[in-house]
């Protein structure tokens, strides 16, 4: 089956995940701090180079997950390609990522913060740490107000800013949501959209987005098309 073209729509945030062809380390081994530190530096530099607004990230032994808004259709692919080339030149020979990255378009005001919590909670789900803000290679500590310098270069999405009236209030509210985690239904919806490479939002958002998207936003109905009576 032919693979789907990349899904893009102007000024629309995307949840992105790229898996490494070979994990940087086994889950039972110590995390490769030097490689993850360097990848974080490259992410910062590549985001500036390709003008991608990165709202949040998690760099883990087996994958990279981002929440970002690119200014054009090619900016985000170029960012991922730049990361792969730099990583291959320094640490690996050959293919860095297992496959093309997967992404989902998100409705602002409804799915941006849940997607941010989802990606920042990955180290907890994968049993690397007990609290998301303890993982050094994600934006969780920054958004939760634990370490202000950890994500000083992040381009915060308006949904995060609207979570509280002051920085302290915003960070406290987000920290509470991050530690509570997502309901199972929300997590499943995010993962289905990401792995299927679809858009995630209510019908009104999808209808509005359809005119500007690079391809269809949701899966086609299963089965043969209905016959139309003459």
Segment 170-186, tens digit of pLDDT:
999 999 999 999 999 99
Integer-rounded Cα radius of gyration of the chain: 18
Q: Give Cα separations from 143 to 63, 179, 194, 223 (angstroms).
A: 21, 12, 22, 44
Q: Give Cα separations from 120 to 37, 54, 71 (angstroms).
A: 17, 13, 23
Measure the CA–CA gap between 194 and 104, rounded to whole angstroms. Answer: 5
Q: What percent of the chain has pLDDT over 90?
A: 69
pLDDT at 208 over 50: yes
Among 82, 64, 54, 58, which residue's Cα sits nearest to residue 19? 64
Strands 14-19, 102-106: parallel, antiparallel or unpaired by DSSP?
antiparallel
Q: List helix spans (H) across the chain.
A: 33-49, 75-90, 112-120, 122-125, 140-143, 158-161, 167-180, 184-196, 203-210
Q: What does CATH list as the number for 14-202?
A: 3.30.70.1290
Measure the CA–CA gap between 43 and 184, rounded to whole angstroms. Answer: 30
Segment 90-146, tens digit of pLDDT:
887 778 998 889 999 999 999 999 999 999 999 999 999 999 999 999 999 999 999
């Amino acid at each position: 089956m032919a693979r789907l073209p990349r899904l893009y729509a102007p000024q629309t945030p995307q949840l992105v995940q790229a898996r490494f062809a070979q994990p940087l380390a086994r889950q039972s081994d110590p995390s490769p701090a030097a490689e993850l530190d360097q990848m974080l530096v490259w992410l910062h530099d590549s985001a500036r180079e390709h003008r991608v607004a990165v709202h949040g990230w998690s760099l883990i032994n087996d994958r990279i997950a981002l929440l970002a808004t690119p200014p054009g259709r090619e900016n985000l692919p170029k960012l991922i390609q730049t990361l792969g080339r730099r990583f291959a030149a320094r640490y690996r020979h050959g293919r860095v990522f297992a496959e093309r990255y997967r992404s989902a378009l998100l409705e602002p005001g409804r799915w941006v913060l849940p997607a941010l919590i989802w990606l920042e909670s990955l180290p907890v789900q994968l049993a690397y740490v007990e609290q998301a803000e303890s993982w050094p290679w994600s934006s969780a500590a920054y958004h939760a107000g634990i370490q202000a310098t950890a994500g000083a270069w992040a381009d915060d999405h308006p949904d995060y800013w609207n979570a509280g009236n002051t920085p302290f209030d915003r960070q406290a509210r987000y920290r509470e949501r991050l530690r509570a985690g997502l309901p199972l239904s929300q997590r499943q919806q995010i993962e289905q959209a990401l792995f299927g490479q679809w858009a995630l939002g209510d019908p009104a958002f999808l209808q509005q987005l359809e005119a500007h998207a690079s391809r269809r936003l949701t899966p086609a109905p299963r089965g043969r098309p209905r016959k139309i009576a003459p």
